[in-house]
């Protein structure tokens, strides 16, 4: 095994700080660049604000947050409720699939079938069954977020070196001890991958459901703004919804970072040139 180390710890620290700062600076730079191009194109092409308002007009209306907050909070609650329901049921179901093979062979076709059916086709059915309100939205969020959690958890629990399982058996570890100390830690990277994907799908699912089966929520606000041709208000609502979704995703990122700091995906890679006189060890 060969590795390089820099003789200057200060230089390495500086490169590390630049590397971490770039994770914020790069997205910020491209966001500002995109908004600048958007603003310039709308003004130079003389595009009507009824069709596409400039970012400056949207930013001027960001102060209506107090008007949008009640509906935004309703939507975030529905997202969280549906996501947590999907996470709990999905995790339990994944354990059953990994543990009992006959159960896995029976349930997998059903899971795939639920994903083939378009959720927009189910939303009116939920509206008939449960009426207008939050329950229909929560269930659609659940259906969208459920599948990636199950699949990624099953993949993580099954992808394990057989030597670790032999070692656990050789020391007399039971099923619970093997699961908690070997299977679950090994599966955490895959589980968090499924949770982050599910969080993004949950945001989209909540808004789509509110278009059809809700009289409140940010999706209802967006639909109303579109009906009134209030494009600026529509963009403001979408922007605040995006920030809410980003916040949920960042919470998952932080949880992942503190849960699996040892995993290769959480390491900071810093390229430091090796000294001229160093040798491979």
Convert the pLDDT of each residue in 120-146 to its tens digit: 777 778 777 877 777 888 888 998 899
> What per-residue confidence (pLDDT) applies to 272?
44
- Token pair listed for 272: 């430091």
Confidence of residue 213 (pLDDT cuts 50, 70, 90): confident
Higher pLDDT residue, 16 or 116? Answer: 116
3-state helix, strand, coil in the chain (%, to 5): 80, 0, 20
Are 204 and 141 in contact by the 8 Å Cβ rule? The answer is no
Is the predicted pLDDT of residue 154 greater than 60, yes or no?
A: yes
C-alpha–C-alpha distance, residues 258 and 228, integer Å: 46
Distance CA 169, CA 161 (A): 13
pTM to 2 decimal places: 0.77
Cα distance between residue 254 and residue 267, in whole Å: 14
End-to-end Cα, the chain, rounded Å: 6
Q: Which pLDDT value is given to residue 117?
A: 79
Torsion of CA 250, 251, 252, 257, to 10 degrees: 90
Per-residue CA distances from 29 to 22, 25, 35, 36 (Å): 10, 6, 10, 11
- pLDDT beyond 70 at 223: yes
Residue 184 has pLDDT above 70, yes or no: yes
Domain limits, the chain: 7-47, 65-266
CA atoms within 13 A on the CB side of 8: 11
Taking 50 as the threshold, does the pLDDT of residue 278 lie above it? no
Q: Is pLDDT of 30 > 80?
A: yes
CATH class of 65-266: mainly alpha
Q: What is the pLDDT of residue 268?
A: 52
Question: DSSP class of residue 135?
Answer: H
**Which pLDDT value is given to residue 266?**
52
Q: Tell me 50's DSSP state.
A: T
| Lookup result for tokens 């927009």 | 120
Percent of the chain residues past pLDDT 70, beyond the cut: 84
| Residue in 89, 138, 93, 143 with CA at minimum distance from that of residue 118 | 143
7-25 pLDDT tens trace: 455 566 565 566 666 677 8
Query: What pLDDT does 150 receive?
Result: 93
pLDDT at 247 over 80: yes
> How much is the mean pLDDT over the chain?
79
pLDDT at 156 over 50: yes
Interval 51-104: pLDDT, tens: 888 888 888 887 777 778 888 898 999 999 999 999 999 999 999 998 888 888
Is the C-alpha dihedral spanning 136, 140, 141, 142 positive or negative? positive
Q: What is the pLDDT of residue 8?
A: 52
Distance of CA 176 to the CA centre of its chain: 29
pLDDT of residue 177: 74
Question: Average pLDDT for residues 36-44, to the nearest whole number?
Answer: 87
Q: C-alpha dihedral over 114, 115, 117, 121, to 10 degrees?
A: 100
């Amino acid at each position: 095994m060969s590795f390089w180390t820099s003789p200057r710890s200060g230089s390495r620290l500086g490169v590390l700080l630049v590397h971490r700062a770039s994770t914020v600076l790069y997205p910020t730079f491209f966001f500002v660049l995109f908004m600048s191009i958007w603003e310039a194109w709308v003004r130079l092409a003389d595009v009507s604000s009824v069709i596409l308002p400039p970012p400056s007009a949207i930013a001027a209306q960001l102060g209506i947050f107090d008007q949008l907050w009640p509906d935004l909070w309703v939507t975030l609650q529905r997202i969280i409720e549906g996501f947590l329901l999907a996470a709990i049921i999905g995790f339990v179901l994944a354990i059953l699939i990994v543990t009992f093979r006959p159960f896995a062979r029976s349930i997998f076709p059903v899971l795939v079938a639920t994903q083939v059916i378009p959720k927009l086709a189910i939303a009116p059915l939920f509206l008939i069954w449960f009426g207008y309100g939050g329950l229909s939205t929560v269930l659609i969020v659940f259906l969208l977020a459920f599948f990636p959690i199950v699949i990624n958890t099953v993949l993580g629990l099954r992808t394990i070196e057989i030597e670790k399982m032999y070692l656990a058996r050789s020391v007399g570890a039971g099923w619970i001890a093997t699961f908690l100390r070997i299977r679950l830690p090994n599966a955490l990277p895959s589980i968090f991958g499924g949770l982050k994907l599910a969080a993004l799908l949950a945001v989209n699912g909540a808004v789509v459901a509110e278009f059809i089966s809700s009289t409140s929520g940010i999706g209802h606000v967006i639909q109303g703004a579109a009906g009134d041709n209030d494009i600026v208000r529509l963009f403001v609502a979408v922007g605040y919804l995006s920030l809410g979704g980003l916040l949920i995703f960042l919470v998952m990122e932080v949880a992942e970072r503190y849960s699996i700091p040892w995993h290769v995906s959480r390491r900071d890679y810093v390229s430091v040139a090796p000294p001229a006189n160093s040798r491979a060890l």
